[in-house]
Amino acid sequence: MTEIQEQLARVLTPVAPPRVLEPVYSDDEYERLLGVIKQHGPWPIIAAHHFETVDELIATTTGIVPKDHGLTLDDVAAAQFRGFFAKNSVCFHPELEDIFYNPRFLEQIRSYWDVPYAKPTMMLFNLCGPDGAGTGPPHLDAVTFRGVRIENTPIWLQNVMAKSGLFSDYLVKMGQIITWWYLGPEGTFTYWPDGPLQPPKRLEHPLWNKGVVVQNELMFHRGDPVGQPRPIEGMKHRSLIDYDRGEDAWTITTDGNPIRRYDPSEMRLLVHWNAELYADMDECRKVMDHTDDLSHDQVVDTLIADLRSKGRNVSMPSDPLHDVEFIQTLTETYTIAPTTDWIDQVA
């Protein structure tokens, strides 16, 4: 274990261990959430929302692959689908406004952080069936900094910034309430509340209307596989899922051609509610008034200076948010993740 890894591990530890909630939503709230998902599809895969290259995806998790890997996003496409109920504190569906602007959730998240102020910022869902969906590596959610946020920044850069530990003074407090509906024997939630170099823990099934209050930006976690791995022929980065009301089934399509169909009982639904928090009014004003924001130029300059101090020969990229060589260098330098022996260590 290197000194750099030990430093990164201290950064990548949540403010508090996850709190388990059960139940989380009322039956009526669940039916309304599911109704929006059924009505407003089709929905793209998770990666299609956030990544333009395989290297960006890897930088968001961790790991190093050969520079000449030749992989495309089609090669790593996974049948895990996503949609948004709300973004940037705006709810997109009036029938869900009381769920998004939820005083019970605000109370829970303020208590978790032990701070007085919070506002909802985002609400999304992930949907998948069997075939081993959810087998990706442990990862972090998008880490938010003053001036550098999911609204204006690629997720890969947000997470490299977090792993580097160079921008902690600009970190915006965030918390989530994440809830699952799935009655199968798999599909658990594995998480590292004590940092990536310590053994993980697992939220066990059944996961019907069971959730956690968490800080997923600074805690490695993963949704575990649903069913046994079984490749879906024709699965692509552009594939979609939609609900067929006539057949009462969920269907994955690529270019309009059905490639897999699921019964509703096979599906796992995750709903992710997100809030931003503030310790006092000074912190609230600093975030909202943008009086001490980072810029992308400042971030890139800081990262390059740190890379050079570590002996990395790196030049200023012309397009740093999309430069593959720059992304690979950052990933190699600030790489840390749970080791492969974690599978046998889950408590």
Q: What is the pLDDT of residues 180-206, one digit of tens each?
A: 999 888 888 999 999 888 899 999 888
Closest CA relative to residue 14, chosen from 213, 147, 199: 213
The residue among 94 and 336 whose pLDDT is bigger is 94
The rounded distance, in Å, linking the Cα atoms of 97 and 79 is 29
pLDDT attached to residue 280: 98
Q: What is the CATH number of the domain that holds 210?
A: 2.60.120
Amino acid at 90: V
User: How far out from the chain centre does Cα 76 lie?
Assistant: 17
Supply 132's token pair. 């081993």
What is the span of the domain harbouring residue 173?
3-344
Are 57 and 103 in contact by the 8 Å Cβ rule? The answer is: no
- pLDDT score of 344 more than 90: no
pLDDT attached to residue 347: 47
User: CA 124, 77, 164, 140 torsion: positive or negative?
Assistant: positive
Q: How far apart are the first and last CA of the chain?
A: 23
pLDDT attached to residue 239: 96
The rounded distance, in Å, linking the Cα atoms of 253 and 93 is 25
Stretch 319-339: mean pLDDT, rounded? Answer: 86
Global confidence as pTM: 0.91
pLDDT, one tens digit per residue, over 116-148 is: 999 999 999 999 998 755 556 788 898 999 999
For the chain, how many structural domains are there in total?
1
pLDDT attached to residue 341: 52
The rounded distance, in Å, linking the Cα atoms of 207 and 182 is 5
Are 203 and 214 in contact by the 8 Å Cβ rule? The answer is: no
The residue among 175 and 77 whose pLDDT is bigger is 175
Find tokens 């996503």 and name the residue. Answer: 82
Stretch 273-295: mean pLDDT, rounded? Answer: 97
Stretch 286-297: mean pLDDT, rounded? Answer: 96
Are 202 and 346 in contact by the 8 Å Cβ rule? The answer is: yes
Stretch 305-311: mean pLDDT, rounded? Answer: 94
Encode 94-109: b = buried (16+ Cβ within 10 Å), e = exposed. eebeebbebeebbebb
- Residue 86 neighbours by CB under 8 Å, 6+ apart: 92, 96, 100, 120, 122, 123
- In 263-319, the DSSP E strands lie at 268-278
Q: Which of 9-13, 159-163, 285-289, 343-347 has the lowest mean pLDDT?
A: 343-347
